[in-house]
Amino acid sequence: MKIQKILLPVIIVIGAIAFFSIFIVKEVNQAIVLQFGDPKKIILKPGLNFKIPFIQNVVYLDKRILNLDTPPEEVIASDQKRLIVDAFARFQIVDPLKFYISVGNERVARSRLATIINSRLRNVLGQQELQTLLSKDRTKQMTLIQEGVNTEAENFGIKIVDVRIKRADLPQANSEAIYRRMQTEREREAKEFRARGAEMAVTITSTADKEVAVILADANKDSEIMKGEGDGERNKIFADAFGRDPEFFAFYRAMQAYETALIGGDTSLILSPDSEFFKFFGNIKPKQ
């Protein structure tokens, strides 16, 4: 009974020592064993490890590639145009000891990296014109930014994997001014298009009128020619007919004259009964 009372505390003490001596490093982590704040051992591989309980403690650092969103930064291009740049970076802790000594933890590291990235953005992008920053050439500028940030991040045991611009916008005041200028330009182009259209319409209309006048003139000319030819042919036929039978021709012409003079109309004729005009009516005796 006494032995059990003695063994129980011993087992508890041994279990506590074993519990506080063992620690596990996961696949996504790397660890630094500290003794009173001083680094004693760096553990990069996952697995079961041991430390001195109550004297040593373990700091875990992420081994994966981490994302960093920097706050939007206003950049002034070389042509004095302003641009709001929102960038992000991807980084990895490659030297845990240097990282711990220089920045201590991930929160401080993120703050330092954000400052470095924004400073590098202003330095590199500030040497370019706004048009360059909004074109495909921006990729070259991002490479320069990444190289510059990586040089400074090496002092923290960090490797910069990538730096990209998520969004690049003009400030609100600049955007409104550009919008108004674009609106004015579009209105000017619309007026030019309408003026050109009106000019083309006048040209087409005048050309069409001219062609119509030419066509009508040609048609009238052809009509007069055909009419003249018809009249000539008619006169020729009449002349031939007159030559064959002059008396019949005289009778025919007299009938036409009677039709024209006597049928219809309001004209009054006063003629002598023995007038040559009535010779085909025979002997007409006046009323007693």
- CATH 3.30.479.30 holds for 66-175: yes
Give tens-digit pLDDT for 66-121: 999 888 888 877 777 777 888 889 999 999 999 999 998 999 999 999 999 988 88
Give tens-digit pLDDT for 173-196: 555 656 677 777 888 888 888 888
Q: Which of 98-102, 124-128, 206-210, 217-221 has the lowest mean pLDDT?
A: 124-128
Q: Where are the alpha helices (DSSP H) in the chain?
A: 2-21, 96-102, 106-125, 130-133, 138-153, 172-244, 246-262
* Whole-number Å distance between alpha carbons of 135 and 132: 5
pLDDT of residue 272 exceeding 70:
no
pLDDT at 288: 47
* Whole-number Å distance between alpha carbons of 250 and 258: 12
Give tens-digit pLDDT for 229-266: 887 887 777 777 667 767 667 677 767 766 666 665 66
DSSP-based three-state secondary structure for 87? strand
Ranges for all domains in the chain classified under CATH 3.30.479.30? 66-175
Average pLDDT of span 4-12: 70
